[in-house]
Amino acid sequence: MALEIEHKFLVTGDGWRQAVERSVRFSQGYLVSDDIRSVRVRLEGDEARLNIKRSGIGTSRAEYEWPIPPAEAAEILATLCGAKVEKTRHFVPHAGHLWEIDEFAGDNAGLVVAEVELAFEGEPFARPDWVGADVSHELRYYNSQLAVRPYRDWTDAERG
């Protein structure tokens, strides 16, 4: 089984920007998103992927992913997916790990989240100074949830 182990954090400030190695524009939509699983299609720059992920809150989830033709992904996004998530993913190396910083656009504009993928549960990692609260266990920050209840609809209390 493929296992994704990642921690998700809010980003504080712009201190990460000078360390960006590369950035990629993402557009993704969900074919299925429920308490058991999510099935999404994603355009990542010039590439596309179909992804199946076990739903749940936490830092470890089963995940399977396959490349698909970008033209087919664009067609699926346009015809089969309801709400979508638009973002730019910035890749930032820090202390031996590659951090992925998602700067959301559209209905989720204003939200910036950093993720770090780990090789195993409990793997130590250094938190950069631009990383804030750990939101790994907060469902509203998951992309599948942002697609149906975007950041623009959150109350001030939910935004913290």
Provide the residue ranges of all domains of the chain, joining segments of one domain with +: 3-159
Q: How far is CA 153 from the centre of its chain?
A: 18
pLDDT, tens only, 97-152: 999 999 999 999 999 999 999 999 999 999 999 999 999 999 999 999 999 999 99
Does 30 qualify as catalytic in the annotation?
yes
Of 30, 64, 142, 151, which residue is the catalytic one? 30
Q: Does residue 23 register a pLDDT over 90?
A: yes
Provide the mean pLDDT of the chain: 94
153 SS3 class: helix
pTM listed for this prediction: 0.93
Q: What per-residue confidence (pLDDT) applies to 35?
A: 82
Give the residue-averaged pLDDT of 55-72: 90
Which DSSP symbol is given to 117?
A: E
| Reported confidence tier of residue 58, pLDDT bands at 50, 70, 90 | confident
Fold of 3-159: Hypothetical Protein Pfu-838710-001 (2.40.320)
The closest of 56, 49, 46, 47 to 4, measured between CA atoms, is: 56
Q: What per-residue confidence (pLDDT) applies to 54?
A: 87
Give the residue-averaged pLDDT of 74-89: 95
146 vs 150: CA distance, rounded Å: 4
| Reported confidence tier of residue 1, pLDDT bands at 50, 70, 90 | low
Q: What radius of gyration, in Å, describes the C-alpha atoms of the chain?
A: 15
51 vs 138: CA distance, rounded Å: 21
Among residues of the chain, what percentage have pLDDT more than 90? 85
- Which one-letter amino acid corresponds to residue 152? R
Q: Does residue 50 register a pLDDT over 80?
A: yes
DSSP one-letter string for 93-106: EETTEEEEEEEE-G
The closest of 156, 58, 45 to 110, measured between CA atoms, is: 156
